[in-house]
Structure 1
Amino acid sequence: MPLPAMPLGRSTDEPAPESTQDRPRPSAPARRPRLYVLDGLRLVAALSVMCFHYVGKPAGWEKVWRGAPDELLPGLHGPAIYGWLGVDLFFLISGFVICMSCWGKRPRDFFISRVVRLYPAYWAAVALTSAVVLAAGYSFSTAHALTPRVVLANLTMLQAPLGAQAVDPSYWTLWVEMLFYIVFAVVVAFGLTYRRAVVFCVLWTLAGVLAPVAGLPLLSTLAQASYSPYFVAGIAMYLMYRFGQSFLLWGIVVFSWLLAQYQLSGTIRVYQQWLPQHLSWTVAVAIMTLCFGLVLAAALGLFDRITWKWLTTAGALTYPLYLIHQEIGITMIHWLRGHLAPAPTLAVVVATVLIAAWLLHRIVEKPLSGLLKRRLTTAFDRLTEADAAAFGGARRGE
C-alpha cells in the first residue's frame, strides 16, 4: 500500500510554469477537481494486498489457518495469489499524487508534508503491531521474535537500510517510497515545473536501465529499477491531468509500461518461491496493464463524474490499513480459526482491521499529524529567522 499511499486533494492553484516552453498548451488549467476515484483505487490496492497475505501467500498456512486456504477458501485463493500487484498500483498513484501535492511548494513544505503524512500513523502501527506480536508470543509472518532494539529501530522507518527486521513485513514498501521522495526532492528543491518534471522522468528512467549494468550500489539503490517505472508513469499521468495530453507524455507512459512488463518477470520469480501454484506472466501483465489504464483514465478525466464523498474516507484509512493488516490480521486468523469456519473468520478479521484502521486514523493520525505539522513549521520558521539574523549580523560586521 504500501504502501503505500499519499493524501489526495485538489491540485494547487499556483501559477503555471514560468515560460511558455514549459507549457504543452497555452491554456493549461491551474485547478482541477478532486479525483475521488484515486481514493477508491488506493483502497482497492490495499485490499488486494491484504487478500494476498491472508488467503494467497502460503507462509505458515497450516499453523495460521489450521489447513490450507487453497482448500478452505478455493474461490478466493486463485485471484488472491495475484494480490501483490496492488503494490504496483500504489506506486502508480503515489507518483501521480506526490507530483500533485508538492507542486509550487518549497522544499521545507515538501519535507513537512511527507513527515506529517508518513510518521504519525506509522509510529502507532509499529506500537500496536509489536504489542500484538508480543502478546501472541510468535510472529506468524517472520517467525522471528521482536526485541526492543528492533522495535526502536523500526520507529525511524529506516530498518531496511539498517538491516533490521521489520516489525511487519509489509513495511518494505515504505523504503521504496522514501527513496522516491529523496530523488524527487531534488526537483522540488529547484522548483517543480512541467519541464523539470519531464526531465526527471527521463533521467530516472535512464538510471533504472543503466543501474543493473553500472555496478554502482548507490545508483542501484536510488534507481529502484523494479519499481521506478510506476512512479515515472504516475508523474507523467499527473502532467496529463494538469496540462493536457502530449506526444511526449504518452511516450513516457508507454515506455514506462514496456519497462514494467519486463521487470515484472523478476518480481514474479520472487513471489513464485512462496507459492506452489504457477503464477502466469500473462495474467500478471494483464492486471498491471489494468492498473495503468485505471490511473490513466482518471488523469484523462474519464472518472470526473465520480464524486462520492465516502471515497475520501476510504482513501484516508488506506495507509493505516496497509500498516496494520498483515501481522495483526494473520495473528487474528490463528486465534479465530479454532472457533469459526474459514469464511466467517476471514470476514471478521477484515472487518476488524478496517475498523482498527479507521480508529487509528481518527484517534491518532489526525490529531498527531496536526500537532507535528505545527511543531515542524515553527521549527523551520525559527531556523529561517536565525539564518536571517546571522546574515544581517554578518552584513553589519563588514
Structure 2
Amino acid sequence: MTITTPDVRTPTSNTKYMHGLDLIRILAALAVIFTHYANWLRLNGHDFPVGRAVDGLVSGPLHLYRPITLFGVGVGTFLLISGMVVTHVAFKETPGQFMVRRAVRLLPAMWVAVALAWVLVSNGLLTANRPPDLDDLPLNMALLNLFVPATSSVLAITWTLVVQMFFYLYVAGTMPLLKRWPWLPPAMSVALVSVLLAVIPANGGPPAIGFRMVVTFLPLFFIGQLITLVRAGRIPAAAGVLCGVVQFLLFIRADLGSEVWPPEDEFPRQLLILVLVVLLATRLDTPLVRKPWIGAAAKRTYATYLLHIPLGFPVLELLTPTTGFWVALVVALAAVAVGSELLYRFVENPIAQWFRKRERQKVTTNP
C-alpha cells in the first residue's frame, strides 16, 4: 500500500535508485497471494502440499504464524516500504500536493476493485463478513467500512489502505516540521501512538476496532520513515535506532493488549526479520534487480494486491470441483495477471500520468 506503495524506483538523497526494493515488493505480493490462496484451500477442505511444505520449511523454523503462513511477511513488507518511500517524497512536495498525489495514485484503482468485489459478493461469487446492500458500496469506497457498524466489507484487504491514509495525513500535517527538524515528527509519533494505544479500546466493534487497527500498524510506517531519514543522513543513526526500537515495543504493546489486531501473535517476530530484509534490500544492486521486467512487475503489485481475491477466488470456487485445484489455480493466476495489467494500464497509470501532466501544465501557465 501498499499493496500499496508508491514507485520505489524513486532516487534517494544521493540519487541512487533502490532497485532491491522492487524485488522485495514482488516477493511480498507473492507472499500475500500464497497466504490467501492457501487459506482458501484450507477453509474449503482441500489439501495443499505446498502449504504444508512452507509451514514445515519456513513458518515452523522461523516461528511464523501457522496455518496463515506468510500473511505478516507480505503485509509487513509493504507497510515498511511505504513508510520509506513516502518519507522521501515528502521532502519534495507541499502538504496539499502530497495528499492529492497519493489519492490520485491509490484511490481510482481501489474504487474499481471495490466495485468489482461488491458485484461479486452481491451475487454470491465472493464471500464477505455480511451480505452487502447498496449503502455499503460508498462506505467501502471511502474506506469507512471498518468504522461504521453493520457494514459489509466487500474487499477486506483494503484495511491496509486505511492505515496508509492515516499515515499520509500524519506526514502531510507534520511536513513543515519534517523539513526543518527531521527528528521531530518521529519523536512526536512515539508519543502519539502511545497515547492512542492507551485511550482506544483494545477490543470491540466499530468504530473502535477500526481506530485500533490503525494505531496498531502505524509503527510499521514510522519504522520505514526512520530508515529513510537515517539513510539520507537527516537524523543520526543512533537516534533512528532508538526511536525505531520504541516503535517496535509499541507494536508489541498493541499485540499484547488486543485479541484482534494484529491477527497473528508472531507478527512482532516477523517484523524484526522484515526490517533486516528491507535494510539489506536497500543495498541490493545486482543485474537481476535492474532487469526491466522486475521494475515493470513491481509497478503492478498494487493492482495485483487489489485483484488477487476478487478475480482469483471466484475462479477457484467455480473450477476446483471439476478441474481440480492445480488447473483452477493456473486459470485463477492468469485471470489475476490479466486483470492486474488492465487495471494498471488503463486506470492506475494513465490517471496518475494525466494528473502529473496537468500539474506541469499549471506550472507552465502560472510561472
The equivalent position to 1:91 in structure 2, one of 68, 79, 102, is 79
CA contact (8 A) 2:117 2:126 kept: no
Structure 1 residue 203: Cα displacement: 1.2
Distance 1:132 1:54, change over 3 A: same
Q: Which one of the candidate residues 285, 288, 312 is aligned to 1:304?
A: 285
Residue 130 of structure 1, CA deviation: 3.1
Q: Which amino acid aligns with 2:145?
A: Q
Aligned-residue offset at 1:238:
0.5
Identity in percent:
23
Counterpart residue type for residue 206 of structure 1: A
2:322: which partner in 1? 339
Residue in structure 1 matching 2:239, options 243, 248, 251: 248
CA distance in 1 between counterparts of 2:358 and 2:309 reads: 32
Deviation larger for 45-54 or 124-133 = 124-133
- Code of the residue aligned with 1:81 in structure 2: it is I
Q: Sort the Cα spacing of 1:101 and 1:209 in 2 relative to 1 into closer, same or farther, 3 A.
A: same
- Letter in structure 2 aligned against 1:55: A
Match of 2:100 among 112, 115, 125: 112
Corresponding residue for 1:206?
Answer: 191
Could you tell me which runs of 5 or more consecutive residues in structure 2 were left unpaired when the two chains were aligned. 60-66, 202-206
Contact 1:106 1:191 in 2 (8 A): no
Q: What residue in structure 1 maps to residue 22 of structure 2?
A: 39
| Structure 2 counterpart of 1:7 | 7
Matches of 2:360 and 2:133 in 1, distance apart?
34
**What's the counterpart of residue 204 of structure 2?**
none
1:100 maps to what in 2? 88
Which letter does structure 2 place at the counterpart of 1:75?
A
Q: What's the CA shift for 1:89?
A: 1.5
Cα–Cα, structure 1 residues 308 and 265, in superposed 2: closer, same or farther, change >3 Å?
Answer: farther
Of 111, 128, 132 in structure 2, the residue corresponding to residue 146 of structure 1 is 132
AA aligned to 2:274 is: C
Unaligned runs of 5+ in 1: 13-29, 273-278, 386-398
Q: TM-score w.r.t. structure 1 length? A: 0.75
- The separation in 1 between residues aligned to 2:212 and 2:261, in whole angstroms, is 20
Structure 2 distance, partners of 1:167, 1:378, is 38
Q: 1:120, 1:364 within 8 Å by CA — same for their partners in 2?
A: yes
Q: Return the alpha-carbon distance in structure 1 between the equivalents of residues 130 and 54 of structure 2.
A: 28
Distance in 2, matches of 1:155 and 1:269, equals 23
| 1:232 equivalent in structure 2 | 222
- CA offsets per residue over residues 198-247 of structure 1, 9 Å max, x none? 211111112212223246999x9499431122111101111122227621
Change (3 A) 1:123 1:215: closer
When Rg is computed on C-alpha atoms for both structures, the one with the higher figure is 1
CA contact (8 A) 1:6 1:97 kept: yes
Query: Which whole-Å CA distance do the structure 2 matches of 1:271 and 1:223 have between them?
Result: 8
Choose the corresponding residue for 1:185, options 135, 151, 172.
172
Q: 1:142 to 1:69 in 2, by over 3 A?
A: farther
The residue that corresponds to 1:396 in the other structure is none
Give the deviation of 1:354 after TM superposition. 2.4
Aligned pairs for 1:227-376 (under 5 A) are 227-243=217-233, 246-265=237-256, 281=266, 284-299=267-282, 301=283, 303-305=284-286, 306-374=289-357
Q: For 1:193, what is the secondary structure of its paired residue? A: helix
Greater mean alpha carbon deviation, residues 305-314 or residues 73-82 = 73-82
Q: Deviations over 1:63-107 (max 9, x none)?
A: xxxx23457953356656232202121111111010012222112
User: Which amino acid letter does the alignment assign opposite residue 361 of structure 1?
Assistant: Y
How far apart, CA to CA, are the structure 1 residues paired with 2:136 and 2:16?
A: 43
Task: Give the 3 Å change call, closer, same or farther, for CA 6–162 of structure 1 in structure 2.
Answer: farther
Identify the range of structure 1 (373-382 vs 91-100) with the bigger mean alpha-carbon deviation.
373-382
For the residues of structure 2 that align with 1:295 and 1:2, how far apart are their CA atoms? 15
> Alpha carbons of 1:10 and 1:374: their partners in 2 closer, same or farther (altered >3 Å)?
closer
Distance in 2 between residues matched to 1:211 and 1:174, nearest whole Å: 19
**2:36 equivalent in structure 1:** 53
After TM superposition, give the deviation of residue 261 of structure 1 in Å: 4.2
**Distance change in 2, residues 1:294/1:314 (3 Å):** same
Equivalent position of 2:181 in the other structure: 195
Q: Would the aligned equivalents of 2:226 and 2:240 in 1 still touch at CA under 8 Å?
A: yes
Going from structure 1 to structure 2, the CA distance change for 1:225 and 1:160 (only over 3 Å counts) comes to: closer
AA at the equivalent of 2:229? L
* Structure 2 Cα separation of the partners of residues 358 and 337 of structure 1: 24
Compared CA separation, residues 222 and 204, structure 1 to 2 (3 A): farther
